[in-house]
């Protein structure tokens, strides 16, 4: 697949304004197959639980095949939902991934260290369910009112006890499956009718007076077991990778491997997505003691974004092997401000802080509405794939 990454280029140029930052001759449009859905063909580990703005697995796989080879060590310091690390592991690359978010940690470790077989996964889930039933009933009055508003009391009690068991170290796969069925209006989910990605109740669309069944008790056990079976529909064991490591850390503090072959990463959209707010219900179940989600200033403040990119550039300059590639995927906006073209800023930072790297290619890919997920984020129209190589 990697060989056609450059050759299969449509004639239509989309999204890229060459006058902004791209040197003449470096801009490309994406392959046509990037636009196709991969939901019915990708490894179903990718579908364990939703994540705002995640990269399509077919694009991640394409980049990995083009810019690395089996046995290489692939680094992703903004792992998010774990799409790039999982695609790397499935392709026999060693993986070093990190992210500041507890939710990213759970998802990435769940995907990278999933049980080898469905039977093993079901046994682990049954053991967690049995352990949860042995716990005393939780005091629901101590649960924040906004959390209680999503669940039938009996369902919430079961969810709280199960989450208490699944939060233990080494049970990330079970916890991720639980988070994947936490809220939605479909029967296989636990909450009252609500959206799937960003948690908000849909009581106006589904009033209790007309849809009483959607507000009844929902049994956790059959739903979590059914979820696990769905995750294993198209399952490939990612542990064929020669090395898998995940660290929860901000990019400023993470210690990357001393030497690595390739870095592919997608930093959070600047001023476009609020990952703490958008994942607030799942984050609460991951760690109810947090008074508020872990702050990620990279998504909110210009100086934090610049600082993070500067730290990343310096670490790439130090650790990336000669002739190795660094691919940074940056979301662009239509607004006339700094946030409109952070790609230009990233290119300038790389030129100043990673002087041995050269920009080799810029690919602009339109972001479809389904990946923006929130109405107010429709200004984020394009992703720029900035491809650097170390000389």
Residue 329 lies in a domain: yes
Residues in the chain: 391
Residue 64 lies in a domain: yes
Residues 6+ apart with CB under 8 A from 25: none
Number of domains comprising the chain: 2
181 and 45 inside one domain: no
Residue 112 lies in a domain: no
Residue 187 lies in a domain: yes
Query: Structure tokens of 132?
Result: 């949860």
Residue 295 lies in a domain: yes
Residue 113 lies in a domain: no
71 and 166 inside one domain: no
Structure letter (DSSP) for residue 30: P
270 and 381 inside one domain: yes
249 and 322 inside one domain: yes
80 and 127 inside one domain: no
Query: Structure tokens of 313?
Result: 């550039």
Q: Under DSSP, is residue 365 helix (H, G, I), strand (E, B) or coil? A: strand
343 and 252 inside one domain: yes
244 and 226 inside one domain: no
Residue with tokens 């790439």: 316
Question: What is the span of the domain harbouring residue 175?
Answer: 118-231
Per-residue pLDDT of the chain (391 residues; tens, 9 = 90+): 333 333 223 323 333 444 345 665 677 778 888 988 999 999 999 999 999 888 999 999 999 999 999 999 999 999 999 999 999 999 999 999 999 999 999 999 999 999 999 999 999 999 999 999 999 999 999 999 999 999 999 999 999 999 999 999 999 999 999 999 999 999 999 999 999 999 999 999 999 999 999 999 999 999 999 999 999 999 999 988 999 999 999 999 999 999 999 999 999 865 556 778 889 999 999 999 875 555 555 555 678 889 999 999 999 999 999 999 999 999 876 554 444 568 888 999 999 999 999 999 999 887 754 444 444 444 456 789 999 999 9
Question: Measuring CA to CA, how many Å separate 179 from each of 79, 138, 193, 308, 356?
Answer: 18, 19, 16, 29, 42
Look up the CATH number of the domain holding residue 76.
Answer: 3.40.50.150
Environment class of 259 (CB within 10 Å of its CB; exposed 0-12, middle 13-18, buried 19+) = exposed
Residue 46 lies in a domain: yes
CA dihedral (79, 82, 85, 88) in degrees, to 10, reads: -140
223 and 258 inside one domain: no
Smallest Cα–Cα separation from 256: which of 86, 349, 265?
A: 265
């Amino acid at each position: 697949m990697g060989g056609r990454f450059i050759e299969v280029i449509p004639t239509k140029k989309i999204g890229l304004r060459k006058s902004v930052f791209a040197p003449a001759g470096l801009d490309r449009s994406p392959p046509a197959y990037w636009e196709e859905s991969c939901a019915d063909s990708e490894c179903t580990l990718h579908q364990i639980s939703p994540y705002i703005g995640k990269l399509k697995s077919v694009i991640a796989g394409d980049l990995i095949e083009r810019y690395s080879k089996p046995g290489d060590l692939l680094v992703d310091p903004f792992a998010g939902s774990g799409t790039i690390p999982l695609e790397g592991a499935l392709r026999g690359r060693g993986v070093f991934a990190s992210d500041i978010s507890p939710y990213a940690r759970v998802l990435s470790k769940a995907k990278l260290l999933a049980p080898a077989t469905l039977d093993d996964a079901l046994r682990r889930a049954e053991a967690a369910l049995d352990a949860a039933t042995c716990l005393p009933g939780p005091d629901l009055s101590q649960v924040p009112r906004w959390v209680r508003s999503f669940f039938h009391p009996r369902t919430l009690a079961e969810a709280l006890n199960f989450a208490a068991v699944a939060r233990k170290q080494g049970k990330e796969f079970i916890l991720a499956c639980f988070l994947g069925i936490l809220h939605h209006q479909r029967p296989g989910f636990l909450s009252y009718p609500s959206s799937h990605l960003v948690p908000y109740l849909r009581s106006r669309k589904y009033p209790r007076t007309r849809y009483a069944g959607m507000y009844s008790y929902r049994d956790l056990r059959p739903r979590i077991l059914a979820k696990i079976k769905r995750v294993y529909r198209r399952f490939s064991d990612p542990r064929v990778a020669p090395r898998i490591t995940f660290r929860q850390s901000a990019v400023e503090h993470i210690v990357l491997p001393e030497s690595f072959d390739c870095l592919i990463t997608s930093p959070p959209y600047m001023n476009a997505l609020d990952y703490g707010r958008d994942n607030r219900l799942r984050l609460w179940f991951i760690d109810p003691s947090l008074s508020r989600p872990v702050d990620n200033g990279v998504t909110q403040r210009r100086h934090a974004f610049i600082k993070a990119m500067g730290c990343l550039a310096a670490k790439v300059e130090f650790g990336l092997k000669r002739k190795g590639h660094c691919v940074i995927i940056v979301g662009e906006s239509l607004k006339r401000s700094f946030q409109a073209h952070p790609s230009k800023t990233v290119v300038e930072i790389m030129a100043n802080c990673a002087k041995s790297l050269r920009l080799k290619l810029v690919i602009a890919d339109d972001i479809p509405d389904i990946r923006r997920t929130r109405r107010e984020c429709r200004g984020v129209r394009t992703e720029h794939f900035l491809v650097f190589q170390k000389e």
